[in-house]
């Protein structure tokens, strides 16, 4: 199923989708979360930025280099609490778009073929993974965070919808 | 929690968010679904369009009129299979944006106050509901479909992510 051009088609749209959803919204929407250690919409954007800086491309580079040590650095899921401090959502949306665009230039520059998509690295939790799996996970991770942003925001109105709650399952999905 | 201006802020962004996510994507992404009687991304946009035509504003008008019969027409969850036939996704994205913009002009024109937000109608399944509940449900319904579009697309790569599946819960959420 995985196809590099199709994967890139999603990856390049994520910053625009997130911007369309969030830019200019009242802070009541973008700062709401689902409880302790869960992400607000604002936190989700910071988390996506951290992934651009520290995760996807950095891990792909380890796989492509095929050095002695192919073990990835563990990923810090809470880095954005620190890194986003003092920034506005508008700044984060710009930063995400710029980093993503630059990372896709890097990815395209590699001109990956089927052989290199099978190169392996070592994930700190679940061991051997391929470059194709990493890129597929990048796509799914984007889509998962768009869904998460939508869910976190929706839950502000969990009580306000009254009996419609029964028809709106997003209101009763747990945080993830 | 419900605030009309805040609700409108989300409602007016949904067409841009959906366009950012989907416009120009390969059909492999937009036509994938989660099995029989589930919606592809394309179907989701058609469903949102049907809601603009037949549901939210029409039901609000029944409530505002406070006539003898305040019972809503049952909503056809599968109307879009018929109504979207022969249309391109680009057409649907335009149509949704135009209908939503016109509906928000109508909504703003009503200049709803707290008293009118308490007006009631009769939902065919769960009885009495207020206008504020209807408008809150409209917002949550939008966000639910953005999450659904993301989930349907993500599942194309359920196997491709290999062991990352454990970290990507969107891949194992049921259709809704």
Burial class (CB in 10 A: 0-12, 13-18, 19+), B34: middle
A133 to chain B, any CB pair closer than 8 A? The answer is yes
Per-residue pLDDT at B144: 98
B124 to chain A, any CB pair closer than 8 A? The answer is no
- CB within 8 Å: A161 and B25: no
The alpha carbons of chain B give a radius of gyration, in whole angstroms, of: 18
Per-residue pLDDT at B80: 82
Strand ranges in A58-151 using DSSP code E only, listed in sequence order:
120-123, 127-130
Per-residue pLDDT at A89: 98
Strand ranges in chain A using DSSP code E only, listed in sequence order:
120-123, 127-130
3-state secondary structure of B113: coil
Per-residue pLDDT at B53: 95
Per-residue pLDDT at B176: 64
Per-residue pLDDT at B166: 96
Per-residue pLDDT at A73: 86
**Which pLDDT band, with edges at 50, 70 and 90, does A94 fall under?**
very high
Among B18, B133, B151, whose Cβ lies nearest the Cβ of A160?
Answer: B133
- For testing the chain A interface, which of B38, B131, B143 should be mutated: the one with the most A CBs within 10 Å? B143
CB A43 within 8 A of CB A22: no
B 146-175 → A contacts, CB under 8 A = 146-147, 150-151, 153-154, 156-157, 159-164, 166-171, 173
Q: What is the mean pLDDT of residues B11-21?
A: 98
Q: State pLDDT tens for residues B123-143.
A: 999 999 999 999 999 999 999
Residues of B in contact with A143 (CB under 8 A): 150-151, 153-154, 170
Q: How far apart are the C-alpha atoms of B141 and A164, rounded to whole Å? A: 10
Per-residue pLDDT at A76: 82
Whole-model pTM: value is 0.97
Q: State pLDDT tens for residues A123-150.
A: 999 999 999 999 999 999 999 999 999 9
Mean of per-residue pLDDT scores for chain A: 95
Name B122's bridge partners: B71, B128
Q: Is the pLDDT of residue A61 over 80?
A: yes
Q: Is the pLDDT of residue B42 over 80?
A: yes
The secondary structure of residue A35, as a DSSP letter, is S
Q: Is the pLDDT of residue B49 over 90?
A: yes
The alpha carbons of chain A give a radius of gyration, in whole angstroms, of: 18
B78 vs B26, residue with greater confidence: B26
Q: How far apart are the C-alpha atoms of B142 and B44, rounded to whole Å? A: 10
- pLDDT cut 90: percent of chain A above it: 88
- CB within 8 Å: A1 and B157: yes
B114 to chain A, any CB pair closer than 8 A? The answer is no
Q: What is the mean pLDDT of residues B97-119?
A: 98
Residues of A in contact with B127 (CB under 8 A): 163
């Amino acid at each position: 199923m995985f196809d590099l051009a199709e994967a890139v088609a999603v990856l390049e749209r994520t910053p625009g989708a997130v911007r369309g959803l969030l830019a200019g919204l009242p802070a009541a929407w973008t700062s709401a979360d689902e409880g302790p250690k869960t992400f607000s919409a604002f936190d989700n954007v910071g988390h996506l930025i951290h992934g651009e800086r520290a995760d996807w491309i950095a891990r792909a580079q380890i796989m492509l280099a095929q050095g002695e040590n192919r073990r990835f650095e563990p990923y810090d899921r809470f880095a954005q609490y620190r890194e986003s401090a003092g920034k506005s959502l508008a700044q984060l949306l710009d930063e995400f778009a710029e980093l993503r665009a630059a990372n896709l230039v890097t990815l395209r520059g590699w001109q990956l073929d089927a052989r290199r998509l099978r190169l392996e690295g070592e994930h700190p939790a679940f061991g051997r993974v391929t470059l194709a799996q990493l890129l597929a996970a990048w796509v799914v991770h984007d889509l998962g965070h768009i869904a998460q942003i939508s869910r976190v925001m929706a839950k502000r109105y969990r009580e306000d919808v009254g009996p419609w709650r029964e028809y709106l399952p997003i209101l009763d999905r747990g945080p993830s």
